[in-house]
Structure 1
């Protein structure tokens, strides 16, 4: 018997109100994502890929359909329970890093742990571990303004890992980087997927970035058009 998918989406739909007009964004999306997969969501601007990512991450709610992550139907969770689930199970990586400029790399990574019951010593041990994982142990006392774009994104990856989440979601994680830094970040994501077993869902418009994933999911006008394996999965 095959294991249940980590993410199970059935007949998901989402629209937004623009004044008196209802604008459909996603229509009848059904998709399974296995634990340990690395998925790239691709599609033209306005295709709904970031909306789908936000729904899977519990940032937004669907209008209809079923969205089960790790056995939990997150579309039915009350807002406070959804926030707790998101904090415990999802790590976020954004295009523009979203680092606090007045905090050091260490403090930015530590931030998600400040709401936990971990002691200061336990927090330090965990932060130093993930900063070593992203090869930034020698930059932990530097502020974002003292780091390159690639280094800032590595801080963001460390922050996403700090709570040991079930799922990592990345929205255009290489979109603000030069090709060398982008390749470094993609290699790091591949390593986290292959060596640490993290399940990663990445939105990207860059075909080069998408090739780092194990499979591609294409959206067009709010609908899935196809899903294919990449060379990285072989």
Structure 2
């Protein structure tokens, strides 16, 4: 009997609520699912359905009220804050809708930022940055500032920054939401290449059905519950 590969992400009975004044507002209710290594997963659902909250919990940015999240064999839901921050820095890359680049830094300097927390030498950092900027097709834009780049190019810089620490998992919150159709298609093709060519696991929140079609699997959230595609 063939061995099954364990999931890289295992979410079990996850619940999360927020306090709004005197009211407790449930956001996620008893969510359970797995993500396989090297999977490109899309999360869809209406605004307020809990997509970004779920993404933040998986990324270790937020803490659940109950349930567990195990990533690469590490149950991150129980890690103390300092350990969680160290884990997050080495294991998760973030891609945002509006890029989150620092305007006064060049493409090189933006991508280098996560490496400043490591023990790498300046030469090693340069090699890493040049490698990932070349990977995303921006070797010739290394000294450009965000204002000198198109939206699609800025998102490529953001993807390079997410990749520079070589994390296993990339989390992407509406990565094509601010792009025209052509640029969005190029970004999605790049993300697929990170999965197929480099073995990355990508979890992407999107409102765009065309973006979701590029994913291997779709999970749909409705009022904090998975309505289909779970498992």
Deviation at 1:167, TM superposition (A): 0.4
What is residue 157 of structure 2 aligned with on the other side?
A: 155
Q: Are 2:216 and 1:214 aligned?
A: yes
Write the mapping of 1:105-144 to structure 2, written as runs, cut at 5 A. Answer: 105-144=107-146
- Over residues 40-91 of structure 1, what are the superposed CA-to-partner deviations in whole Å (9 max), with x where a residue is unaligned? 0000001101100000000000000011011011010000111000001000
- Over residues 137-173 of structure 1, what are the superposed CA-to-partner deviations in whole Å (9 max), with x where a residue is unaligned? 0000000000000000000000000000010000000
Structure 1 CA distance for aligned equivalents of residues 117 and 61 of structure 2: 19
What is residue 18 of structure 2 aligned with on the other side?
A: 16
1:167–1:200 Cα contact (<8 Å) kept: yes
Structure 1 CA distance for aligned equivalents of residues 134 and 76 of structure 2: 33
- In structure 2, the residue corresponding to 1:92 is in which secondary structure? strand
Runs of 5+ consecutive residues of structure 1 not aligned to the other structure = 230-234
Structure 1 CA distance for aligned equivalents of residues 71 and 118 of structure 2: 22
- TM-score scaled by length of structure 1: 0.97
Structure 2 CA distance for aligned equivalents of residues 179 and 65 of structure 1: 38
- Over residues 185-217 of structure 1, what are the superposed CA-to-partner deviations in whole Å (9 max), with x where a residue is unaligned? 000000111111100000000000101111100
Runs of 5+ consecutive residues of structure 2 not aligned to the other structure = none
What is residue 183 of structure 1 aligned with on the other side?
A: 185
Q: Are 2:75 and 1:65 aligned?
A: no
Superposition CA RMSD, Å = 1.0
1:215–1:228 Cα contact (<8 Å) kept: no
Aligned residues: 229
Deviation at 1:228, TM superposition (A): 7.6
